[in-house]
């Protein structure tokens, strides 16, 4: 336990500081993951398997993943607005931080350290996990049920808020085909799928343009990014070789006739 504490404590403190000072939210979430996993290891070192499992499954596996999913939905590279939407929120944050710091210091100053009992004598005879389960479903059953109902209500509220009513009827296959033909008639948009890279070519890599029936390369088969970077493969040599082979084949056929 002592070795695990002296190894993980500096890691947790450094990760906590990095979580606060990191400019990107993803980096802060990763630093928070390091803190949570390190705390779970400390629980395991203190022979607390229930807290270890809860720390990994609930906090690290559920809450932190929820944070990451929200960041992925909002956007990793999205810039935060520095304009205050609520007046006086910085002053209120300073006041609340000061009050919290005073309460924290006062609480730590009034603590008293007694004789360490140890986990062996503090555990119930059946074990740590059965003891926690017995307390949850007997003494704290009402708080447990209220918390479960609150979580279910929050999940249903999130589903209702995220649901969007369809204002227009869902387009059918016939409607989509008609829209493609109208786009082709009005703006010249290709009505079918674009040719794949390497189609009718000697190579099937993404930098090889597809060949049209007349043998010319199709620019639609190559990404515009690759065209802008100039990384498109030159197929003129392949076309010249193809023409030579066709010419030789024609000469052979003419000689046989």
The tens place of each residue's pLDDT in the chain, 257 residues long, gives: 678 888 888 899 999 998 888 877 778 888 888 898 999 888 888 878 888 888 888 888 777 777 777 777 665 555 555 666 677 788 888 999 999 999 988 888 877 666 655 555 555 566 667 777 788 888 888 988 998 899 899 888 878 877 777 778 888 888 888 888 888 888 887 777 766 665 555 666 777 777 777 767 777 777 777 777 777 777 766 655 566 656 666 776 666 65
What CA–CA distances, in Å, run from 117 to 27, 112, 114, 120, 223?
39, 14, 9, 8, 69
Choose among 99, 76, 60, 89: nearest CA to 22.
76
Q: Are 4 and 45 in contact (CB under 8 A)?
A: yes
Q: Is residue 202 assigned to a domain?
A: yes
Domain count, the chain: 2
pTM for the structure as a whole: 0.45
Determine the 3-state secondary structure of 217 from DSSP. strand
Q: In terms of residue numbers, what domain contains 212? A: 193-256
Strand partners, 218: 210
What CATH number should be reported for the domain holding residue 69?
Answer: 1.20.120.1200
Domain end position, chosen among 38, 53, 75: 75
Choose among 160, 167, 191: nearest CA to 178.
191
pLDDT at residue 96, as a whole number: 92
pLDDT at residue 99, as a whole number: 93
Q: Is residue 91 assigned to a domain?
A: no
**What is the spatial distance between Cα 43 and Cα 55, in angstroms, rounded to a whole number?**
9
**What is the spatial distance between Cα 38 and Cα 22, in angstroms, rounded to a whole number?**
19
């Amino acid at each position: 336990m002592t070795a695990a504490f002296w190894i993980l404590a500096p890691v947790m403190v450094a990760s906590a500081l990095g979580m606060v000072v990191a400019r990107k939210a993803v980096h802060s979430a990763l630093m928070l993951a390091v803190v949570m996993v390190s705390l779970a290891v400390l629980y395991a070192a203190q022979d607390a398997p229930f807290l270890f499992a809860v720390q990994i499954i609930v906090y690290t596996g559920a809450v932190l993943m929820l944070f990451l999913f929200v960041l992925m939905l909002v956007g990793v590279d999205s810039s935060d607005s520095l304009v205050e939407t609520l007046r006086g929120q910085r002053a209120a944050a300073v006041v609340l931080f000061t009050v919290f710091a005073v309460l924290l210091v006062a609480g730590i100053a009034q603590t008293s350290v007694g004789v360490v009992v140890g986990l062996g004598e503090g555990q119930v005879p059946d074990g740590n996990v059965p003891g926690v389960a017995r307390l949850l479903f007997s003494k704290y059953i009402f708080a447990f049920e209220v918390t479960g109902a609150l979580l279910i209500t929050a999940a249903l509220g999130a589903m209702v808020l995220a649901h969007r009513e369809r204002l227009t009827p869902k387009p059918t296959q016939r409607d989509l085909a008609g829209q493609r033909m109208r786009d082709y008639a009005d703006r010249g948009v290709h009505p079918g799928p674009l040719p794949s890279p390497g189609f009718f070519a000697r190579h099937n890599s993404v930098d090889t343009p597809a060949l049209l029936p007349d043998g010319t390369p199709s620019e639609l088969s190559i990404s515009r990014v690759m065209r802008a970077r100039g990384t498109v493969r030159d197929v003129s040599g392949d076309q010249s070789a193809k023409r030579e082979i066709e010419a030789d084949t024609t000469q052979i056929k003419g000689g046989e006739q």
